[in-house]
Amino acid sequence: MLFKLLIACGLIAIGALSVNAADMEIKMVDKNCWIEVFDDTKYDADDPHVKVEGPKEFASLKNLNGRDWNNDIQSVIVGSGATVLAYKDKDFKGTEIAFASGQRIPDLSKLDMSNDIESMKITCGQ
């Protein structure tokens, strides 16, 4: 009887190990999943800009990499592995604009969104 109990415990332990192995699956990071935002038109690298890797959601851009980017983005470059939804108001509210993979927008004022973005969602592999 004790032998059968030990075998049953062993089978349960093996099952638990296989579940843990599945949970520890290595996730691939898409190095092309990012958006670079600039506080000037035409991607002026001499002025403040930041590259943000996804996937991530920002309900506010008030402290994006240590800087307040709320209403301060004038041009963007989107990585080839990302899609981005940007919103005029915090908490993903207000006017929404979608940026496609690989898209470059040198002047957001042409889309009525210059200095008007307060939140965004970066999605990878879509």
Rounded to two decimals, what is the model's pTM? 0.75
Residue 29 lies in a domain: no
Q: Could you tell me if residue 21 is inside a domain?
A: no
* Mean pLDDT confidence for 5-28: 51
Instruction: State yes or no: pLDDT of 25 exceeds 60.
Output: no
120 occurs within a structural domain: yes
Which residue type sits at 17?
L
CATH of residue 51's domain is 2.60.20.10
Using CA atoms, how far apart are residues 32 and 11, in angstroms rounded to an integer?
Answer: 43
What is the distance between the alpha carbons of residues 105 and 41, in angstroms, rounded to a whole number?
9
Range 98-124 average pLDDT: 96
- Residue 15 placed within a domain: no
The confidence score (pLDDT) of residue 26 equals 47
Structure tokens at 119: 């939140």
- What type of residue sits at position 38? F
Residue 8, domain member (yes or no): no
Residue 15 has pLDDT above 70, yes or no: no
Say which residue the tokens 């093996």 belong to.
Answer: 14
Q: Where are the beta strands (DSSP E) in 21-125?
A: 34-38, 49-53, 56-58, 75-78, 82-89, 93-99, 104-105, 119-124
Residue 28 has a pLDDT of: 53
Range of the domain at 39: 34-124
Instruction: Tell me the percentage of the chain whose pLDDT exceeds 90.
Output: 70
Has residue 27 been placed in a domain?
no
What is the token pair recorded at 88? 């005029």
Residue 23 belongs to a domain:
no
Tell me if 62 is assigned to some domain: yes
Tally of domains within the chain: 1
Q: Which tokens belong to 12?
A: 């349960």
**pLDDT tens digits for 46-100?**
999 999 999 999 999 999 999 999 999 999 999 999 999 999 999 999 999 999 9
